Amino acid sequence: MPLFGQSLLSAESVQTDDTLAIFHLAQRYKQEFARSRQFSVKPVMSRGPLCVAMLFFEPSTRTRMSFEFAAYRLGLNVVTLENLESSSLVKGETTVDTVRNVSAMNPDLICIRYGMDEDLDSALTKLKVPVINCGSGIYEHPTQALLDAFTILENRGRIQAERVLIVGDLRHSRVANSNLTILRQSGAEVAYCAPDTNLPQNPRWNDVQRFESLGEGLRWASVCMCLRNQTERHHDQKSSLTPEVYSLDSEALAHFPQDGIILHPGPVNIGAEIKVEALNDKRVRILNQVENGVFVRAAILATILGVEGNSL
């Protein structure tokens, strides 16, 4: 069984078969939910009620809540470290030690988000419990990439040979790194458009085509994926907000195919990455991504925990 009992720490650890199985199950959950507002999951009574621990050391709305919705829809119990200010982190406990202690409470799975923390990167690979990376530093956000690819498949009918233009602050984007891996693995062509101040740092981008002009990139693309300005990571002097010429507005969108789709992982800095008029464009699929996030993350949880059950 793909991913069963395993951690999902990076996009590179996701095999093509895993991706296909997750998409298949996510689509099934979405269809079942449309029919009956529930997923057909058999409780795994022999293993007792399964518990997912949620550890978010960085802020989140979409990722955390969609994992929680997904877990509840699957009949899982969720234990969340709700408020970091009321945890023992304020007494000086490290993130690594926090995770080791939560792991010692024997959750069935840990969902975790954190910043730049090499000690934690390493510690997570040694835990006995499966771990899902819900966003780590500027490196990886594999479940976002899976839900983005699922949304492309749903809207475009394929991923193979789709031309995905990633626009904006690639220098600090974990979303872009994971997307490059999953999209290429699925047969898409990927290119990017970013200012000199915000070029990708990760070597996996070395052979990826760059468009200097947003209009030129949009004429090439069938999917436009805008990125958030990651201002919380703009500590180094080289980085800055992406200039106006990288904002999606109606003038830029005039270059984009009528049947193309526009994605953004959120949260959108409205007026910065996307102008208000462009947000109302019929090609925008941002809330579709958010909706799909619940089904894709449910499929990931169910696959790792082995609770996918039978079709209704």
Q: Which amino acid is present at 209?
A: Q
Instruction: State how far the Cα of 210 lies from the Cα of 289, in Å rounded to an integer.
Output: 25
| Nearest residue to 296 (alpha-carbon basis) of 145, 78, 173, 108 | 145
Q: Smallest gap, in angstroms, from Cβ of residue 266 to ligand CP?
A: 5
Q: Smallest gap, in angstroms, from Cβ of residue 275 to ligand CP?
A: 20
62 binds ligand CP, rule: CB under 6 A: yes
Q: Please select the residue that binds ligand CP; options are 10, 19, 63, 239, rule is CB under 6 A.
A: 63
Per DSSP, the three-state class of 149 is: helix
7 binds ligand CP, rule: CB under 6 A: no
Q: Are 220 and 257 in contact (CB under 8 A)?
A: no
168 binds ligand CP, rule: CB under 6 A: no
DSSP secondary structure string for all residues of 273-312? TB-HHHHTSTTB-HHHHHHHHHHHHHHHHHHHHT------
177 binds ligand CP, rule: CB under 6 A: no
Give, as ranges, the residues between 21 and 60 that touch ligand CP (CB under 6 A). Answer: 60
The pairing of strands 163-167 and 223-226 is: parallel
Q: Please select the residue that binds ligand CP; options are 48, 49, 243, 267, rule is CB under 6 A.
A: 267
Per-residue binding string, ligand CP, 132-161, x by CB under 6 A, is ---x--------x-----------------
- 27 is written with which tokens? 């689509």
By rule CB under 6 A, what count of residues binds ligand CP?
10
Q: Smallest gap, in angstroms, from Cβ of residue 49 to ligand CP?
A: 26
Residues that bind ligand CP (CB under 6 A): 60-64, 135, 144, 265-267
